[in-house]
Structure 1
């Protein structure tokens, strides 16, 4: 199945059904249909495989905001009521496996500040063994993302991004310690808003991996990525890198380092960029109740890639339709206390350098979340975050502070009620970008099965 085998796979029959549905969704350029197609296909595959039951939960939530449009003046208040469903499933091990996590919702505003909104997110990954050493992989990621990274995060500044990839992977063992892996993938990125740039891409990868010991492996990988944006821009990216993976009793460390060349073409003009690229991931169990992690990545890519999905703190400016050199770093720790409380602390830093326009956006920040069980039925949840951003094109800086606190009460084993209050402040060198917001939410959550 290959060293990077996905966590789930589809049966051959359902793979064919999925392929035909995906082609239909792709032709219609509809991310919502695209994502729902994958969900339905996953459920079909699950039924055939007779896997464990799905996990399905639902909720109803109302949120009041005293500045729902996030404006610096003339603030208006409104209430959004949202209903949502959350699905999670992982199939049993077998020749075909699948893992699905999806959420869909629908919200309306009492005073019609915004049009009714539908919400969706999806993480879907899987593969199916076609023959010895040969498998077919499918993945799909769906997110609501910001269009203009400089503007406030309101419904009018969001679009739905769907990143789909599929293709065969072939692995060949050379003795007991060496493995060759070849893959060919087709990728498609669609945005729900017509003004945003969609793309198609073809990705070819070849790698050699050697097992040096029970805890150390490494090798060489080369890849080519040919993307065509619907604006007519073509972006070719070639990468050659060395990679490794090392583990100890309580520590795991892996990564790669290499060189990349990116060439973009449009209207007879060609621009090339080269650079050192790579990634790493470090995880350590300090003790049974404390874990820390550090990870980072640097790539030459474009906004239609899945980089912002892999690093959620990266926000692309979709108004830029050029290639981008993006660097991201995040770190954090989690600790569980003896009183059943739990704390998560994370820090991040990232840079987006738009190569054709020489515009650079930097962002740094941190987040803290603390949960504590007050009684058998009542729990406390608190959170806070800070983000500082700079835009070197015009020297504008801004800072965003967020804090909230809430309670969750278990009415029954399956039904809970929750309440939360929060505050957000954004300061900026541009007065038009500043705002303050206070909000409060009340909701019900039910676990169906």
Structure 2
């Protein structure tokens, strides 16, 4: 069977992003990179997540992870990446190589001018109505770079000009890659040390590799307000998006847009975070990098009106235990194809030390999904439990069991799966 590799251009972008870290001044004097090597095997009783004719298989995965943050200076970088190679014993799927990558960097060229760069690479689902097997996943890479110019207009005012080039590429050739040029101008007024507000205008032009175009203009009122234990920031505005797609007339859509992020420290152990967004965008954007629970339908080529909401509660009880609860909801309205998808869900993760070397974990997730394309409702249930045993300062043994079930009005989408995972994680120090 042929191996599933990253496209050559995507490999080049990954190498450049990782290589930029080594060019940052002060890299050698910064804290050393955290490098980890992992190997795990996952046995499943339904590898294809099929309703009937279940087949079992054993997936073995070898992974290498790197995490590094440079010391503050003229140039700064933050890198988190993991490369993994997977092989299935009974060849249910082709061997594949996947990469998760988050890279952000900037260099100060002068007092007012900063050059920024970022790269985001993830495994993403192609169609949320289909189970998340390797056949329904692809790698999405979003690379962005450009300058930001900040001009002080007095003691309490500043003008911010920025431009960026963005390249989006998918591993699967049937998915549409795209390039985007963005320009923005903004004015900020510092009303007080705790309150800032202003005006911002952004325009971008996106061209797909099929020569289709999606253009967007957004005007907003950004703000930031902080209190003793709370920080609230965001923007409220108006957006217009225009699409020029093959075999379709040029269309224009407009609506109000907004972004909101609020973080409150309830007490010394509990933090509350709420994030909401309403945007006009398309599948080549990096919107799904901000909301992990949001999934673009890559089968649709269209302008998308997206509404996403997440409420997270984190409880860290020191060395005793940690509990994270997340409520989320997403709505995707594909304007050119008149398709709507909605997701509501909750996710809970609990971790508790049992002894000095042994920890236990529990996790559960529920999703309710609706699709207008076939007028169907789906429900997804996930549960997992595990133990982590620290053999020494560098080596951990991980064992986990899990169960997943999908019910649907479209019977062919239903499945049940039980799996067991055992692995080792070694951290170089």
Q: How does 1:247-262 map to 2 (within 5 A)?
A: 247-262=226-241
Show the counterpart of 1:346. 326
Deviations 1:181-221 (A, max 9, x none): 10010110000110001000100011111111111111110
Equivalent residue, structure 2, for 1:99:
78
Q: Which moved more, 1:226-235 or 1:48-57?
A: 48-57
1:272-351 correspondence to structure 2 within 5 Å: 272-337=252-317, 340-351=320-331
| Pairing of 1:154-165 with structure 2 (within 5 A) | 154-165=133-144
Q: Which residue of 2 aligns with 1:395?
A: 375
* 1:269 Cα offset (Å): 2.5
Q: Which residue of 2 aligns with 1:186?
A: 165
**Post-superposition offset of 1:394:** 1.9
2:364 aligned with 1:384: yes
Alignment of 1:43 onto 2:39: no
Which of 108, 126, 140 pairs up with 1:129?
108
Counterpart contact for 1:252–1:284, Cα < 8 Å: yes
- Secondary structure at the aligned position of 1:364 is classed as strand
- For 1:98 and 1:40, the matched residues in 2 are separated by 11
1:133-172 equivalences in 2 (<5 Å): 133-172=112-151
1:7-55: CA deviation from partner (whole Å, max 9, x where unpaired): xxxxxxxxxxxxxxxxxxx9x8632332232112323436756322101
Please say if residues 30 and 192 of structure 1, whose CA atoms lie closer than 8 Å, have aligned partners that are also in contact. Answer: no
DSSP-derived class of the 1:195 partner = coil
SS in 2 for 1:308: helix
User: Distance in 1 between the 2:124 and 2:360 partners?
Assistant: 29
- The alpha carbon displacement at 1:337 in A equals 2.8
Contact map agreement 2:143 2:168 (CA 8 A) in 1: yes
- Report if aligned partners of 1:86, 1:103 keep a CA contact under 8 Å in 2: yes
**38-47 vs 246-255, which moves further:** 38-47
Match of 1:58 in 2: 37
1:409 aligns with 2:389: yes
Q: C-alpha distance in 2, partners of 1:36/1:441?
A: 31
Are residue 217 (structure 1) and residue 196 (structure 2) matched? yes
Give the distance between the partners of 1:32 and 1:392, measured in 2 at CA: 37
User: CA offset at residue 126 of structure 1?
Assistant: 1.0
* 1:3-18 mapped onto 2 (5 Å cutoff): none
What whole-Å deviation, never above 9, does each CA across 1:257-309 have from its counterpart, x for those lacking one?
Answer: 00001011135821000000011011111100000111100110100000011
The count of residues paired between Structure 1 and Structure 2 equals: 423
> Retained in 2: the 8 A contact 1:141–1:164?
yes
Q: Deviations over 1:153-184 (max 9, x none)?
A: 00111111000111111000111211111001
Shift, 1:111, TM fit: 0.8
Q: Is the 8 A contact 2:230 2:264 kept in 1?
A: yes
Per the alignment, residue 428 of structure 2 pairs with: 448
RMSD of aligned C-alpha atoms?
Answer: 1.5
Counterpart CA distance in 2 for 1:148 and 1:272 is 25
1:132 deviates by: 1.9
1:266 and 1:143 map into 2 onto residues whose CA distance is 26
Asked whether the equivalents of residues 25 and 73 of structure 2 are also in contact (C-alpha less than 8 Å), the reply is no
Say whether the 8 Å CA contact 1:335–1:342 is kept in structure 2. Answer: yes
CA distance in 2, matches of 1:112, 1:128: 46
Where 1:76 maps in the other structure, the secondary structure is coil
Once residues 349 and 155 of structure 2 are traced to their aligned partners in structure 1, the CA distance between those partners, rounded to angstroms, is: 46
Matched, 1:365 2:345: yes
Take 1:156 and 1:285, find their aligned partners in 2: how far apart are those partners?
42
1:89 counterpart residue number: 68
Q: Secondary structure at 2:24's aligned position in 1? A: helix
Structure 1 portions without partners, runs of 5+: 1-25
| Contact persistence 1:31–1:160 (CA under 8 A) | no
Tell me the residue number matched to 1:18.
none
Report the Cα offset of residue 118 of structure 1.
Answer: 1.0
What's the TM-score, normalizing by structure 2?
Answer: 0.96
Aligned residue for 2:356, secondary structure, equals: coil
CA deviation profile, 1:307-356 (whole Å, cap 9, x unmatched): 01111111111010111111100001011236611100001000110000
Q: Which moved more, 1:97-106 or 1:331-340?
A: 331-340
Cα pair 1:87 1:101 within 8 Å, conserved: yes
Tell me, yes or no, if structure 1 residue 230 matches structure 2 residue 214: no
Secondary structure of the residue aligned to 1:287 is: coil
Aligned to 1:34: 13
CA distance in 1, matches of 2:217, 2:208: 17
DSSP-derived class of the 2:266 partner = strand
* CA shift for structure 1 position 81: 0.7
Instruction: Show the counterpart of 2:3.
Output: none
* SS of residue in 2 equivalent to 1:269: coil
Q: For 1:39, what is the secondary structure of its paired residue?
A: helix
State how far apart, in whole Å, the 1-side matches of 2:317 and 2:145 are. Answer: 43
Partner of 1:12: none
Q: Measured at CA, do residues 41 and 221 of structure 1 come closer, stay the same or move farther in structure 2, by a change above 3 Å?
A: same
Other structure's SS at 1:40 match: helix
